[in-house]
Amino acid sequence: MTQGNADIAMNDLPVFSAELHPYRSLGRSGHRIFFLITGALSFAHMAVFMISGAWPVVLFFGLDFLVLFGAFWLNNRAAKAREVVFLSRTNISIRKISPSGRETEHVFNPFWARFLVSRKAKIGITAMHVRGNGRETDVGTFLPLDDRERFASAFSGALARVKRGY
């Protein structure tokens, strides 16, 4: 490898990289247990109403269970979204991967890019954006407040190091 190629390879080494995932408090086994308990309770109530002759209520219990299951299914599907943030000396790459697997990539020059953080006094960080070359993209919109704070301080520190010539 020549000196010029070595410099190019060194410039593409990551100074910062992070993969951001939405937070979900209930795991896969927790969902199973939740739906087993909910299904058993719904079935017990459906049996009581069926025996007492109030069969239309049984349909509503079944419909409620299906709506609840659908809401959790959509929530779990949305949890598959992620963002991959990569910062090197030569570029900032933000890859957004939707729950369906579709990817979009936003690339910025770190020397021209700005990392913008919007804050509210009692809430904390409400939005994070990377702006440069007339383009802008949001970062970590699905993160909880504590994770936004940690990401913002780590990313802004790494970007500052790159701009100083780290």
Whether 8 shows a pLDDT value over 80: the answer reads no
Extract the tokens encoding 100: 């369906």
Is residue 128 within 8 A of residue 139, CB to CB? The reply is: yes
3-7, 79-83, 144-148: the lowest-pLDDT one: 3-7
What is the percentage of the chain residues whose pLDDT exceeds 90? 67
> Which is nearest to 140 in space by CA: 163, 124, 161?
124
pLDDT digits (tens, 9 = 90+) for 34-79: 999 999 999 999 999 999 998 888 899 889 999 999 999 998 888 8
Confidence band for 10, pLDDT divided at 50, 70 and 90: low
The pLDDT of residue 11 is 60
Is 21 within 8 Å of 79 (Cβ atoms)?
A: yes
Q: Return mean pLDDT, the chain.
A: 89
CB neighbour class for 20 (10 Å; exposed up to 12, middle 13-18, buried from 19): buried
Q: What is the mean pLDDT of residues 100-123?
A: 93
Give which of 150, 100, 102, 112 is closest to 128, Cα–Cα: 150
- CA angle in degrees (0–180, nearest 5) for 153-159-163: 140
Which class for 73: exposed (0-12), middle (13-18), buried (19 or more C-beta within 10 A)? exposed
- pLDDT at residue 108 tops 80: yes
Place of tokens 């219990």: 61
- Phi and psi dihedrals of 132, rounded to 5? 180, 150
What is the pLDDT at residue 114? 94
Average pLDDT for 130-139? 93
| Average pLDDT of span 22-37 | 89
Q: How many CB atoms lie within 10 A of CB 111?
A: 12
Round to whole Å and give the CA distance between 135 and 106. Answer: 9
